[in-house]
Structure 1
Amino acid sequence: MTDIALPGTIQGVLDKYSEPDALLSALLPILGQVLKCDRCFLYLRHPETKLGKITHIWRRNPDIPDIGNLEWELEPASLPQEDPMFAAALRTDPSIYVEDVETADPTVLNKDFERRSFGHRALIHAHLCHNGQLWGVLQPCVFAQGRVWSDSDRAIVTQLENQLVPAVVEYVKKSIVNSPQSTVHSS
């Protein structure tokens, strides 16, 4: 399933950009369109400091909620207990494909948390991990109704999970070092 070629539009972005911010900024709109999503965002974090934020977001239209953060913020200590998908990501479990927030198993997601925090109806919770640590979550989603994620959707996201990790780690290390909230030095 993961050996298919990436769509040319996505591969073109990966080939064209090497600087992490430019790559991630260019990729999300293309990925959102290829996956036929309403919103696609990246939540990035530094695993040691637990500082995180939504760094990049694409929305199909302005009616879709913009949930981006301006500043790096300390993740709430309660987040893994409140959000089972985040807990799974911290464990570096495989990415999660939710076809319908309303009918999903409560051991997979907290329906009230998803409604309150994100408002989406179906989503991919793609875990971006490096050396056994979570560095980010890529989250394409749809709003109006549930959605079955195809084998092709899954293959694209799986390939991107691996290909985006170096850019994500570089972006986080550079951003956290330059952040006024942090005294972290890159490792």
Structure 2
Amino acid sequence: MTQQELPSELKNIVESSQKPDAIFSALLPAVSDFLQSDRCFIYLHNPQNNLGRVAFCWIRTPDVPTVYNEKWEAQPPSLIDEDPMFAAALRAEPSIFVEDVETAEPQVLNREFEQKNFGHRALIHAHIRQDSQLWGILQPCIFGHPRIWTEYERVVINNLVEKITPFAVDYVKSAFD
């Protein structure tokens, strides 16, 4: 696999010429299959007004909690202080691969915040950004046990985020037209 290629299942979805909502709906279970994750969601963010929503969420089994927001919601002012990963995403820092929420450094994540709001044990906090602005976060995660993310998986997720960024930007902009 070259640097810019994706596994065929993911590549076919991204190149399917569908609208962003159809692409994201098809992509989440495919990402979860690729990573063997329990849940995968996309948080979309409007950098102009700091409104966001989890518009798409896929869960492997019914016992995994769904994360979803029907409406666009204002980002609480305290979120940057409570959630170091979200703060990093807003600063347009590279995506974060957390192998174990229980042992991650506090400058990487707030364990209590993650446990209370998400319940996962391992996750990828993949930052969808363009022109140093946050447009979304792709978040596959694992429940119940830690997970080592391989170099190959990291490359694929970083390449995938690059490929879906235009769809995320289009989705957000069209919601506010």
Category of TM-score, reference length = shorter chain: over 0.9
**Alpha-carbon deviation of 1:5?**
3.0
Question: 1:41, 1:120 → 2: CA distance?
Answer: 12
Partner of 1:162: 162
Asked if residue 133 in structure 1 is aligned to residue 137 in structure 2, the reply is: no
Q: Note if 1:12 corresponds to 2:2.
A: no
Q: Mean alpha-carbon deviation: is it higher for 8-17 or for 153-162?
A: 8-17
Gaps of 5+ in 2: none
Q: Which residue of 2 aligns with 1:184?
A: none
Once residues 164 and 117 of structure 1 are traced to their aligned partners in structure 2, the CA distance between those partners, rounded to angstroms, is 25
Hey, what does 2:148 align to over in structure 1? 148
TM-score by length of 2: 0.97
Q: How far off is 1:45 after superposition?
A: 0.7
1:144 is displaced (CA, Å) by: 1.2
Q: For the residues of structure 2 that align with 1:129 and 1:101, how far apart are their CA atoms?
A: 24
Give the corresponding residue for 2:70: 70
The alpha carbon displacement at 1:152 in A equals: 1.4
Secondary structure of the corresponding residue to residue 176 of structure 2: helix
Letter of the 1:120 counterpart: H
Q: Is the Cα–Cα contact under 8 Å of residues 10 and 31 in structure 2 kept in the other structure?
A: yes
CA contact (8 A) 2:89 2:95 kept: yes
User: Does the 8 Å CA contact 1:2/1:158 hold for their aligned counterparts?
Assistant: no
Q: Residue 164 and residue 4 in structure 1: after superposition, are their counterparts in 2 closer, same or farther (change >3 A)?
A: closer
For 2:15 and 2:165, the matched residues in 1 are separated by: 15
RMSD over aligned Cα, in angstroms? 1.3
TM-score (norm 1): 0.91
The corresponding residue for 2:46 is 46
Q: Is the 8 A contact 1:2 1:155 kept in 2?
A: no
1:105 paired residue number: 105
The CA distance in 1 between the partners of 2:17 and 2:59, in whole Å, is: 21
- Alpha-carbon contact 2:38-2:142 (below 8 Å) kept: yes
Q: CA deviation at 1:85?
A: 0.3
Q: What is the percent sequence identity of the aligned residues?
A: 49
Residue-pair matches, total: 177
